[in-house]
Structure 1
């Protein structure tokens, strides 16, 4: 198998961008079936911001001295270049569609020992959630001025960005929040956590999926942030409801 850096697929991001833009135009024109176009805008927009999230990890890692991200081909918006496309975007995409929970994926393999200082590891981990938050701010601001199905779709996507940012900074192994803290944690603690680290994100998702009020708490925090930055939460609620076009 060819190394990641030489794999094809340079068409992937432009294709996602073009499909999302076409669906956005259909939403703006209120063309039928409009709820399907809302779905496409939200899913396409999610894939675009997911690419930006992973690119941010790689770019900050390179800035800190880890040249391996360039060798692995991570300095691209092409989702096929990442180490684990299934866990990075396929599974989160399915879960977003059926459950509405923006579960973060893990894609960029970083070699921390190449970084010049341990705080660069924290910056690398923080880069992803910060990107989600910035995307949420921009989308909230844009959507607030659009009173049509495109505004609903962009508002829904903005809310999902804030929720993903909050979820990603949880100080739990498997999330970027733990990566921010990890360079400063005792080695003994990290060794004890090692056997269960792969399972903890699944536990978090199971709680969000099955415990009453857990996902509502997360979305309420996201809604508070969205309102803080001028977004219209009512618009986002309409967008998320119409996003699940099969239930409308």
Structure 2
């Protein structure tokens, strides 16, 4: 069975916990920032919440175990409510990936603290921290890709002129089809895996280099 999973069986409990935390914080960040800018849509649907059950998407969660990345339920956003649309749009979109990067850094800080105080961590605790840091970084990088329905695409939509946005909207359904093909077929391995294998370790090393001088 291991050969069909992106993670070894013994790591699955850690992955489940990491996903519940990462997806919940990601979607909560989108919903909270949108609400603060005047959009009550997500709040009215109960998405300004730290309850994982309101955020997890069955298919997106399952893909994490199979291919190593996935997504949660998209937070509903109505940009017509925004008090400052040009500022609010990009901030709402980037809030999710940024929250995962912050969460990864927080787990690394706690990991370093455990190591400094206890002189090391047990094997299971080491695995727990590594998985939480890496999964949050993977989710951040994945969601910043400029493909619909990911956050990276929404950021571009919010930053380009209205005429360009209208053209993007015309071809969005084709872009979503391309995205799905990449996700569910081996073609995605040629795009996603090289990206994850370069950007995620880079971010990991950057965070480590920030913390290492503090703990020697």
Normalised to the residue count of structure 1, the TM-score between the two structures is 0.68
1:107 and 2:85 are equivalent in the alignment: no
1:136 — aligned with what? 104
Structure 1 210/75 Cα, relative in aligned 2: closer, same or farther at 3 Å? closer
Distance (Å, rounded) in 2 between the aligned partners of 1:170 and 1:125: 12
Unmatched 5+ stretches in structure 2: 1-7, 116-120, 210-216
Normalised to the residue count of structure 2, the TM-score between the two structures is 0.78
Unmatched 5+ stretches in structure 1: 1-34, 83-87, 232-248
1:127 and 2:105 are equivalent in the alignment: no
Secondary structure of the equivalent of 2:176?
helix
Per-residue CA deviations over 1:160-214 (Å, capped at 9, x if unaligned) read 2111111111122211011112123324312322332432431342466654574
1:47 — aligned with what? 20
Secondary structure of the equivalent of 1:161?
helix
Which of 180, 191, 215 aligns to 1:202? It is 180
Structure 1 194/76 Cα, relative in aligned 2: closer, same or farther at 3 Å? same
More off after superposition, 35-44 vs 150-159 = 35-44
Q: Is the 8 A contact 1:208 1:215 kept in 2?
A: no
Cα root mean square deviation, aligned: 2.4
Distance (Å, rounded) in 2 between the aligned partners of 1:65 and 1:167: 27
1:91 — aligned with what? 59
Could you list the structure 1 runs, at least 4 aligned residues long, displaced by more than 6 angstroms after superposition.
none
More off after superposition, 177-186 vs 52-61 = 177-186
Per-residue CA deviations over 1:93-124 (Å, capped at 9, x if unaligned) read 2111122x222234210111001122201111
Q: Is the 8 A contact 2:157 2:165 kept in 1?
A: no
Which of 191, 196, 218 aligns to 2:169? It is 191
Which of 26, 40, 43 aligns to 1:70? It is 43
Q: How many residues align?
A: 191
